[in-house]
Amino acid sequence: MMRAVSSRASTSPEFMLWTPTGGVPLPEGPARWAVDVVTGLGVGVVAGLMGVGGGIIAVPAFRLLLGMSQQLAQGTSLLAILGAAMSGTRSHAKRGNVSAAHVPWLALGAVAAGPLSSWWVQRLPQATLVRVFAVFLVANALLGWRRGSRAAARAATPANA
């Protein structure tokens, strides 16, 4: 049995608004599990290299490669990232790259806001949520580019200048 995903995903400017309704077939059963594992490996590698939690990579991957709705991709991403977050945190902690003083307070805020924002996301129209997520991705990309450019300029400036 094959599940179909719209081929508009790769050919249309509104690729982030497509819904899985026909087109490129996705396998089911063991072949589907392989697609899921390969997608997860890709998300894990890119997230590990980029130092992101994974959702910034996972949500678009789940939408575009697995044909999930925005809400389903976000929820699936949150659960799938748990394992990667634990192992990645362990690796970073061994190298002293975790600010233990910040963790309890950050976690408190996340635990308080997570359920409320998840409830809200389920009530937003698909098109609105997709657009908000796209703006978030673009803003992060631009901010990262700007900060990277500034860091490169500082590194290139002689210390005695």
Q: What pTM, to 2 d.p., does this model score?
A: 0.64
Look-up: residue for tokens 């089911």?
A: 28
In a domain, 104, yes or no: yes
Phi, psi of 4 (to 5 degrees): -100, 145
Instruction: Determine the structural domain holding residue 125 and report its residue range.
Output: 3-156
Q: How many domains does the chain have?
A: 1
pLDDT in tens, 51-67: 776 788 888 888 888 88
In a domain, 98, yes or no: yes
In a domain, 83, yes or no: yes
In a domain, 17, yes or no: yes
Angle (nearest 5°) at CA 110 between 119 and 139: 85
pLDDT in tens, 76-115: 888 888 877 787 788 888 999 899 999 999 999 989 998 8
In a domain, 12, yes or no: yes
Query: Stretch 27-47: mean pLDDT, rounded?
Result: 83
In a domain, 161, yes or no: no
Tokens of 110: 């996340």
| Mean pLDDT of all residues belonging to the chain | 78
Cα dihedral sign for 121, 122, 123, 127? positive
Residue 14 has pLDDT above 50, yes or no: no
pLDDT in tens, 129-141: 889 988 988 998 8
